[in-house]
Chain A
Amino acid sequence: MTMREQIEAAAARYPDQRSAIMPALVIAQREHGHLPGPVLEEVADILGVERMWVYELATFYTLFHTEPVGLFHLQLCDNVSCMLCRAEDLLRHLEEVLEIKKGGTTPDGLFTLSTVECLGACEMAPVMQVGNDYHGNLDVVRIDALLESLR
C-alpha cells in the first residue's frame, strides 16, 4: 500500500480526521525514516487538516523525529529501575566505544545514542530499545555483542 492508502485506511477508524494525525505520522515516519517539513505537509494534505496541527504533534511527541536519526537508534533506559541496575556504566561504555556523546550520531550514520525514560520492561533492567526490539539484562559484554551483530 502507498503511504496515502495506509493513512486513509487508518483515518477510517476515527469519526474525526484530526484523530488520524498521530497514526499518520507513525506511518509517514516508517516510510521516510524521519519527518521533514515536506512530509508533514503531505500528511496534512492527505488528511485535509491544518498544517499547524500536524507540526504541533510532530514536535510534541518524543517518538517523532523531525531530524534524521542513525540507522540504529540505541535508546538506553536510565530511569530508576535501570539506574539501580547500573545503566550509567552502560552509557559510559557506549559513549566510549562509539566515540559519541549521548544525543549524538556516529559519523557513518549507523548509530544514534539516546537515553530514554522507563521502557516498561524493568524486570529485565538494564534495558535498551534498538528499533523495534528490546534488549534486556544488559552488561558490557552483551552490549559489545549486540553492537557487533548490528554492524
Chain B
Amino acid sequence: MFEPVLLKNIDVPDSHLLSTYEAGGGYQALAKALREYSPDDVIELVKQSNLRGRGGAGFPTGMKWSFVPKQAGKPKYLCCNADEGEPGTFKDRIIMERDPHQLIEGLALSAYAIGADTAYVYIRGEYVTAIRRLEQAIAQAREKSYIGANVLGSDFKFTVHVHCGAGAYICGEETAMLESLEGKRAQPRLKPPFPAVAGLYSSPTVINNVETLACVPHIVMRGPAWFRGIGPDRSPGPKLYCLSGQVRKPGLYELPMGIALRELVEEHAGGPLPGRRIKAVIPGGVSAPVIPEDGLEVGMDFDSLAAAGSMLGSAGVVVIDDSTCMVKVSTRIVEFFHHESCGKCTPCREGLNWAVKVLRRIETGEGEPGDLEQLEMLCKGIFGNTFCALGDGAAMGLRAALKHFRDEFVAHIEERRCPFH
C-alpha cells in the first residue's frame, strides 16, 4: 500500500489549521533547512530528487532554481501558480483548502533556496475558500515566525502575498501571469528570456505550481533518495491525480508517478458507470491528447505519456464512456480554447475560431466532405506557430481526436446527423 504524502493530513479534522499541521510534523523541514543547509544545499537536494514541475510541463525544479543568477543586483521573486484553470483539474484547490501550510512551508523553502524574500501566490478568483484559508494560514504562520523578518530566529526574511486572479485561463501561462501581476492585460511574453532570469518587474523570478512546492518540505525532510524511490527514476515522486467525468468514484487520488492509467481508472476510481464501457480517457487536462480505451496500459508519468503521444499535463484525468459523442467532446474543448485565447497571435485567434465553426457544423449534421481535411489543415497551421502553448494544446488535442475517432466524425458527415442523439 502506498502511504499518502501530500494528502496525509487531508482527512484529519481541521486539517487547514496550523496546530494540525504542526502536530503532523509541519514546519520541521523549514527548521531543518535553516539549521543544517545552505540555500545551495536545498537546490542540490531538489535537483537530486528529480522533482519535475507539476504545473504540466515537467521541467526539472532544481534546475529551474539554479538558473536564478546569484548576484542579480535586483530583488528576486517567487511566484506560485495557483491559477488552476485547466478543465479537469482541481488538485491545487484541495491542497490550499485543506492543507495550506504545506504550501506555505514549500514557499518558504523555495524562497530560501533562490534568495527571494517576497512571494506572490496567484490564485484564481473563483477559489474563494482557498483564498480565505491561505490568507488565514499566512497570518497564523507569521505569528509563529515561520514567515516574517527573522524566520525562526534566523536572518532569513520572507513575506507571502495572495494575489487573486479574475477569470482568465491564460493567466496560468507563467509569463501571462507575470503581466497580470504587473497590472496589465494577461498576454504571454516571448521566452527566452525565461522568468528565472527576467520575470516579475524584470527581476529573476521562479514560478512553480502549488503541488510542485508542496513536494519540497517532504524532500528536505526525507531526502532525495526516498523521493526518487517512488515511481520511475526520471519522473518520480508522489502524484495527485484528479479523476472526473463518467467514472464511478470521481475525486482526488494520491499515488506514485507512473501508475498505469488503467489501474487508476478501473481499480482506484471504480471504473465505468453501471452498464457502460469506457471509450476514451483524457489523461492530463483538456490540453492533453485523448487516449482510446486500448491505450490505457500507459504509465502516468511525463516520459511514458509523451512516448504514447499524449502528456501528463496537470493530471486531470477525464473519463469518457460509450454513451458520449467524441465530436461533441472535441467541439466543447476547442470552444474552450477559442474562448480563452488571448488574441495576441493570429493562428490561435483565427485558427480556433474557424475550427469551432467547422466542428459545430459537423456535430449538428451539416458537415461537408472535406471538413476533416480542413480541420487537419487548421491544426497544422496552429501547431508550433503560436506565441504560447495554448494554441499547441488545442491543436494536439483535436488532432488526436481526429486520429483515434475518425469514424465518429465521418459518421456525422455521412449520416448528416449526430449518431448519439
A residues with a Cβ closer than 8 A to B are 13-23, 25-26, 49, 53, 56-57, 60-64, 78-81, 83-85, 116-125, 129, 132-134
Contact B166 A63 (CB under 8 A): yes
Interface residues of B in 141-174 (CB under 8 A from A): 161, 163-169
Question: What count of chain B residues pass the 8 Å CB interface test?
Answer: 54
> What's the minimum C-beta distance from B243 to chain A, rounded to whole angstroms?
7
Name the A residues within 8 Å of B211 (CB-CB): none
> What's the minimum C-beta distance from B365 to chain A, rounded to whole angstroms?
18
Contact A129 B89 (CB under 8 A): no
> What's the minimum C-beta distance from A136 to chain B, rounded to whole angstroms?
10
Does B363 touch A at the CB level, under 8 Å? no
Name the A residues within 8 Å of B128 (CB-CB): 132-133
A–B pairs, 22, beta carbons within 8 Å? A13-B161, A15-B75, A16-B182, A17-B183, A18-B183, A19-B181, A23-B164, A57-B184, A78-B332, A79-B286, A80-B333, A81-B88, A83-B328, A84-B245, A117-B85, A120-B89, A120-B124, A120-B127, A122-B89, A123-B242, A123-B251, A125-B250
Contact A125 B186 (CB under 8 A): no
> What's the minimum C-beta distance from B396 to chain A, rounded to whole angstroms?
16
Name the A residues within 8 Å of B86 (CB-CB): 118
Contact A20 B168 (CB under 8 A): no
Name the A residues within 8 Å of B33 (CB-CB): none
> What's the minimum C-beta distance from B321 to chain A, rounded to whole angstroms?
8
State A84–B320 Cα separation when bound (angstroms): 7
Pick from B88, B167, B329: contact of A61, CB under 8 Å:
B167
Known interface pairs A79-B87, A122-B89. Does A84 touch B167 (Cβ–Cβ under 8 Å)? no
Name the A residues within 8 Å of B165 (CB-CB): 22, 61, 63
Mask of B64-103 contacts with A, CB within 8 angstroms, 1/0: 0000000000010000000011111110110000000000
State A118–B242 Cα separation when bound (angstroms): 13
Other contacts beyond A26-B166, A117-B169: 12, CB < 8 A: A13-B161, A14-B161, A49-B183, A53-B183, A56-B185, A61-B166, A61-B167, A79-B286, A80-B88, A80-B329, A120-B127, A129-B126
> What's the minimum C-beta distance from A60 to chain B, rounded to whole angstroms?
5
Q: Please, which residue of chain A has its CB at the minimum distance from the CB of B250?
A: A123
State A23–B246 Cα separation when bound (angstroms): 38
Pairs of residues from A and B, 5 with the lowest C-beta to C-beta distance, nearest first: A61-B166, A18-B183, A122-B244, A62-B167, A118-B87
Name the A residues within 8 Å of B10 (CB-CB): none
Contact B185 A122 (CB under 8 A): no
- Residue among A23, A57, A79 with max Cβ neighbours from chain B (10 Å): A79
Q: Please, which residue of chain B has its CB at the minimum distance from the CB of A21?
A: B183
Pick from A26, A81, A125: contact of B125, CB under 8 Å:
A26
Mask of B227-264 contacts with A, CB within 8 angstroms, 1/0: 00000000000000011111000111000000000000
Contact A121 B166 (CB under 8 A): no
Name the B residues within 8 Å of A116 (CB-CB): 167
Known interface pairs A64-B166, A122-B242. Does A20 touch B336 (Cβ–Cβ under 8 Å)? no
Contact A60 B332 (CB under 8 A): no
Contact A117 B164 (CB under 8 A): no
Contact A81 B87 (CB under 8 A): yes
Name the A residues within 8 Å of B271 (CB-CB): none
> What's the minimum C-beta distance from B248 to chain A, rounded to whole angstroms?
12
Mask of B284-323 contacts with A, CB within 8 angstroms, 1/0: 0010000000000000000000000000000010111000
Name the B residues within 8 Å of A15 (CB-CB): 75, 201
Does B339 touch A at the CB level, under 8 Å? yes
Name the B residues within 8 Å of A63 (CB-CB): 125-126, 165-167
Q: Please, which residue of chain B has its CB at the minimum distance from the CB of A118?
A: B87
Does B50 touch A at the CB level, under 8 Å? no
State A15–B120 Cα separation when bound (angstroms): 12
Name the A residues within 8 Å of B244 (CB-CB): 81, 84, 122-123, 125
Known interface pairs A60-B168, A61-B167, A123-B250. Does A118 touch B161 (Cβ–Cβ under 8 Å)? no
Name the B residues within 8 Å of A133 (CB-CB): 128
Known interface pairs A22-B183, A61-B167, A63-B166. Does A119 touch B126 (Cβ–Cβ under 8 Å)? yes
Q: Please, which residue of chain A has its CB at the minimum distance from the CB of B93?
A: A120
> What's the minimum C-beta distance from A124 to chain B, rounded to whole angstroms?
8
Pick from A57, A61, A84: contact of B318, CB under 8 Å:
A84
> What's the minimum C-beta distance from A87 to chain B, rounded to whole angstroms?
10
Name the A residues within 8 Å of B182 (CB-CB): 16, 18-19
> What's the minimum C-beta distance from B147 to chain A, rounded to whole angstroms?
14
Known interface pairs A63-B167, A125-B250. Does A84 touch B324 (Cβ–Cβ under 8 Å)? yes
Interface residues of B in 328-365 (CB under 8 A from A): 328-329, 332-333, 336, 339-340
Mask of B91-133 contacts with A, CB within 8 angstroms, 1/0: 0110000000000000000000000000000001111110000
Does B208 touch A at the CB level, under 8 Å? no
- Residue among A62, A80, A123, A134 with max Cβ neighbours from chain B (10 Å): A80
State A25–B329 Cα separation when bound (angstroms): 35
Contact B180 A22 (CB under 8 A): yes
Q: Please, which residue of chain A has its CB at the minimum distance from the CB of B185?
A: A60
Pick from B85, B164, B250: contact of A120, CB under 8 Å:
B85
State A53–B184 Cα separation when bound (angstroms): 7
State A21–B166 Cα separation when bound (angstroms): 12
